[in-house]
């Protein structure tokens, strides 16, 4: 428990990121219901959300809900540039950072927070600085671990911040909330809980860890028991940033359809590959990361004998790693990383990379 209390973690989440970037660059869209997407809604503005439109919904269904909906195509390169601006700011305040996607990430601010008047002051200054750089708003949460920081960033969204100082504050805040406030509790799991008369989070405190595991399975039961008590021992995954180049995306609505998975994998690969090329690296290792809706995660890698940056070879390897898993569960996160990096300039000049 002391370790949890001693850590101070910040989570930032950009508000309607893709849509906000498009509105910033085209002010005529302000105040109108817009979505960013092609066949699937990637992001919906708050005006669009009032009609029941949400990410992962088909554009066809979204238009039925809002006939005056404005559809803007995805411009990932543009969003990536803005994301790098934001990530550059975050890396200036802490070396221990973890970026979950273009629009959100964690930073361990334990070592620097005492240099500021208060956590509240720091959160406000952080939001102001991001707006100053990007003209975009974000929501911020500060907690004593990653779980509580992320949940705190949802409390006053959009354009706000919230702070959990300790487990007592966290439990006091969530105990009278509905079950669906818990991360990982989707519609189906919520129905299962409600069938057992678990309506509010306070109802779950009566159940022991053993009983939860018996009712919901060891993994889900233990997770549920810990989450409602604000217990989370996961670390900021910052080491990988210096060892590899890549990209990952967390989906608020888990991927189920094969075409959804293929589309997202394609976009994640393209962005990761563009980073590899822009930094003038070739790689020996390709890594695929998958996290499922039940929070189980897998990481699969392949190492080549000869380093390469040939896109066809890299993409083919990623697809093969995914296909070997025979995935049947909804996917919450996909990530692609290129490791064992070597600068092109340090390779022998007589190698023809196009033939590798």
According to DSSP, the β-strands at 281-292 and 244-255 are: unpaired
Q: How far apart are CA 337 and CA 353, in angstroms?
A: 20
E-strand stretches of the chain: 9-14, 34-37, 41-44, 70-72, 97-101, 104-108, 138-143, 161-163, 244-255, 281-292, 297-308, 331-343
According to DSSP, the β-strands at 244-255 and 70-72 are: unpaired
Residue 104 annotated to the active site: yes
Q: Find out whether 200 and 207 touch, Cβ atoms under 8 Å.
A: no
According to DSSP, the β-strands at 138-143 and 161-163 are: parallel
Name residue, tokens 């974000």.
138
Nearest to 104 by CA among 21, 234, 14, 236: 14
Q: Which of 104, 237, 296, 323 is catalytic?
A: 104
> For residue 130, with 0-12 CB atoms within 10 Å meaning exposed, 13-18 middle and 19 or more buried, which class applies?
buried
Question: Encoding tokens for residue 172?
Answer: 């006091």
Catalytic residues: 104
């Amino acid at each position: 428990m002391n370790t949890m209390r001693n850590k101070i973690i910040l989570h930032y989440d950009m508000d309607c990121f893709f849509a906000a970037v498009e509105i910033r660059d085209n002010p005529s869209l302000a105040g109108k219901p817009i979505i960013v997407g092609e066949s699937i809604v990637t992001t919906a503005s708050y005006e669009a959300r009032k009609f029941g439109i949400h990410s992962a919904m088909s554009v066809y269904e979204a238009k039925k809900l809002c006939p005056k909906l404005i559809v803007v195509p995805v411009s990932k390169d543009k969003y990536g540039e803005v994301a790098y601006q934001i990530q550059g700011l975050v890396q200036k305040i802490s070396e221990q950072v973890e970026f979950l996607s273009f629009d959100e990430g964690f930073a361990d601010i334990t070592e620097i927070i005492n240099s500021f008047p208060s956590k509240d002051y720091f959160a406000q200054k952080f939001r102001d600085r991001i707006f100053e750089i990007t003209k975009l708003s974000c929501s911020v949460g500060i907690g004593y671990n990653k779980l509580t920081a992320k949940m705190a960033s949802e409390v006053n969204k959009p354009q706000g911040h919230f702070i959990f100082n300790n487990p007592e504050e966290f439990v006091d805040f969530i105990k009278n909330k509905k079950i669906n406030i818990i991360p990982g509790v989707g519609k189906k799991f919520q129905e299962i809980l409600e069938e057992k008369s678990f309506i509010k989070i306070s109802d779950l405190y009566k159940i022991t860890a053993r009983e939860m595991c018996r009712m919901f399975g060891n993994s889900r039961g233990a997770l549920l028991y810990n989450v409602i008590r604000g217990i989370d021992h996961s670390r900021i995954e910052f080491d990988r940033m210096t060892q590899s180049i890549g990209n990952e995306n967390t989906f608020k609505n888990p991927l189920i359809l094969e075409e959804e998975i293929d589309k997202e994998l394609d976009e994640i690969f393209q962005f990761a590959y563009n980073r590899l090329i822009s930094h003038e690296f070739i790689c020996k290792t390709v890594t695929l990361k998958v996290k499922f809706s039940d929070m189980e995660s897998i990481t699969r890698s392949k190492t080549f004998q000869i380093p390469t940056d040939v896109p066809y070879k890299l993409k083919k390897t990623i697809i093969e790693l995914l296909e070997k898993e025979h995935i049947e569960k909804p996917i919450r996160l996909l990530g692609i990383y290129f490791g064992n990096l070597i600068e092109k300039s340090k390779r022998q000049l007589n190698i023809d990379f196009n033939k590798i």
